Amino acid sequence: MTPKRNVSAGQDAARPVTLDSYGRLSRVPETGELEKIDVQWADNRKVVERVGARLGQELQDGLSAWKRGVRRPGWEALLERVESGVVDGVVVWHTDRLFRQPRDLEKLIELGERGFKVYSAHGTRDLSDPDDRFILRIEVAHAARSSDDTARRIKRRFATFREQGKGTGGPRRFGFPGKDLTWTPGPGQTKDDQPLVSADQVARERQAIRDAAEAVLTGVSMCEIARQWNAAGLRTAAGRNWVQVTVRDTLKRPTLAGVIEHEGKPVGRLPGEPILSQRTFDRVRALIAGRKRGRVAGERYVGTGLLRCGKCFHKLSAHVQTGKTYKDGTKRFDYFCCKQHRGCGGVYADGGSVDRELRTFTINRLSDDRHAAAIAAARARVADRLAEVNDEIDDIERLHQALSARLGARQMTLDAFDAANEPLVADLARLTAEREALSGGNADGPTQAQSPEEVARQWDAGGFAEKRSLLTQALGRNWMMVEPFTQSGRKRFNPRRVHPVKPKSAAEVAARAAEVAAEMAARAAAQ
């Protein structure tokens, strides 16, 4: 008797069953040892072979995958593959490696109508079978209860540690002792052999922090501090070059003043002499909190914040070429992928040439009847909610301005400002993301095609803000890429370097950044 195969409508019965392998880093309850991903994958391959299926992708997530709200790239990739129909099931060690919260199970049950199966060393679960769904719900509810109990115990233990002035784990911070994060194990070495950083290095870092705090209070920029530290051979605790953001975040840490904070409130003190006095630290943090977060994107350049590096997908910056001008007398400038902003530095392009391509693209797109019809239809579907979101964003921005004015007039403390401002910032980020999703990056503007002449007139007569608005309308949800220069011989701008693409997922961006970083490290090692 031949084995039964579940084949839903539209599924090719002749196509071999494809199973993804999923591993999640976790600890054995009895021993506390890590159940390594490679071991899980190896066992999963045996299951795939046993059931006569074809191995799809091998996916994984880390130790924190059970936490609520934590992004799980492996899980998200699996869902995408299930929804697209390229995979028929998944193999795991145990169901709690895949489902740790009931909502995860319910997501796949919705897709179970296609006959999606979950294989493991403990048997097979068919999500289209009511009995299997019942058993899975019980197993997942038990796993969720176990996770909740663990979280409560850890939270209570960490609270006790903070009150006693003890650390709660995590990697070494700049200016503090701990394991050397730049250490690479040699042959036969394990993580147990990882050395501590030297006392001399810690002392040097602490002095650098003191000097930087004094410099910042006299008006020295974070970028200048980063340049000084890099020139002096200082690196972050992870061994990376300093940039403006990492310097700022380092100088904001309350542990510099010996204070342990939790959720913005002081809950304990570290033993020993602090790096900074409380007064100096308070002045530095107040100065950082009161600073504007840089110039608004697009205030001087059309493409900043909208253009992406074709090599690492990072957003491009812009700078003027000192002493050089275009034929019309305006200053010559470049768009580039900035290493100081964690870019790869692999893309440079003449700003004037890129802006001409942006103008051409915008005119062609906004004069296209099909594009205008799509905008009109999409906006009609979300008009009411979009209006509500815009009103909420306006309210938050007014509240934020009022809070900033009160802080500047010393009518409220910095702690009170942070307590009031943090939920506003979180709400603003959420609402802005929702507005982008609802409008496709096109919250305003006409919904009917305009003539090419009219779009050109608006572009040529508008300032940077108006041009960016037109470009945003033309792009919708797409990204505008600028590819690296690859031609040999005389450098002439190739218009094909500038082109729109569909937006990349966070997992794709992270994967590309890792690839580029590996290439750069290999090149540096070869030199």
Residue 345 and residue 478 share a domain: yes
Residues 23 and 44: beta-carbon distance below 8 Å = yes
Number of domains in the chain: 4
Residue 110 and residue 22 share a domain: yes
From 128, 148, 168, the end of a domain falls on 148
CB-based burial label for 325 (10 Å; 0-12, 13-18, 19+): exposed
Instruction: Tell me how crowded residue 96 is: count the other CB atoms within 10 A of its CB.
Output: 19
Kindly state whether residue 176 falls inside one of the protein's structural domains.
no
Task: Look at the block and give the residue holding tokens 């909190």.
Answer: 289
Kindly state whether residue 172 falls inside one of the protein's structural domains.
no
Residue 254 is part of a domain; what is its CATH number?
A: 3.90.1750.20
**CA triple 236-237-243, angle to 5 deg:** 15
Long-range contact set of residues 232-240: C-beta below 8 Å, sequence gap at least 24: 232/208, 234/204, 234/205, 234/208, 235/182, 236/174, 237/171, 237/172, 237/173, 237/174, 237/178, 237/181, 238/171, 238/181, 238/182, 239/181, 239/182
Residue 408 and residue 510 share a domain: no
Residue 87 and residue 31 share a domain: yes
Residue 199 and residue 205: Cα distance in Å, rounded? 10
Kindly state whether residue 164 falls inside one of the protein's structural domains.
no
Residue 209 and residue 73 share a domain: no
Residue 387 and residue 462 share a domain: no
Kindly state whether residue 374 falls inside one of the protein's structural domains.
yes
Cα–Cα separations (whole angstroms), residue 257 to 165, 223, 514: 13, 23, 35
CB-based burial label for 499 (10 Å; 0-12, 13-18, 19+): middle
203: which residues sit within 8 A by CB, 6+ positions away?
A: none
The rounded average pLDDT for each run of 10 residues, N- to C-terminus, in the chain (527 residues) is 36 69 68 71 88 88 57 78 81 66 70 71 64 74 69 66 59 88 86 88 94 90 90 91 90 87 69 88 80 52 90 90 85 89 87 93 81 58 71 79 72 72 78 70 53 84 82 85 79 88 84 81 73
Residue 47 is part of a domain; what is its CATH number?
A: 3.40.50.1390
Instruction: Tell me how crowded residue 261 is: count the other CB atoms within 10 A of its CB.
Output: 15
Residue 37 and residue 119 share a domain: yes
Residue 452 and residue 439: Cα distance in Å, rounded? 23
81: which residues sit within 8 A by CB, 6+ positions away?
A: 20, 56, 57, 87
Kindly state whether residue 8 falls inside one of the protein's structural domains.
no
Residue 455 and residue 428 share a domain: no
Kindly state whether residue 413 falls inside one of the protein's structural domains.
yes
Q: What is the sign of the dihedral through the CA atoms of 170, 174, 178 and 180?
A: positive
Residue 318 and residue 335: Cα distance in Å, rounded? 4
pLDDT of residue 27: 58
Q: Which of 88, 91, 64, 65 is nearest to 76 (CA)?
A: 65
From 110, 128, 148, the end of a domain falls on 148
pLDDT of residue 501: 92
Residue 390 and residue 246 share a domain: no
Residue 438 and residue 388 share a domain: yes
Q: Structural domain of residue 504, as residue ranges? A: 295-351+451-527
317: which residues sit within 8 A by CB, 6+ positions away?
A: 304, 335, 336, 337, 338, 341, 343
Residue 143 and residue 25 share a domain: yes
Residues in the chain: 527
From 449, 477, 492, the end of a domain falls on 449
What is the DSSP pairing of strand 498-501 with strand 479-482? antiparallel
Residue 339 and residue 315 share a domain: yes
Kindly state whether residue 359 falls inside one of the protein's structural domains.
no
Kindly state whether residue 407 falls inside one of the protein's structural domains.
yes
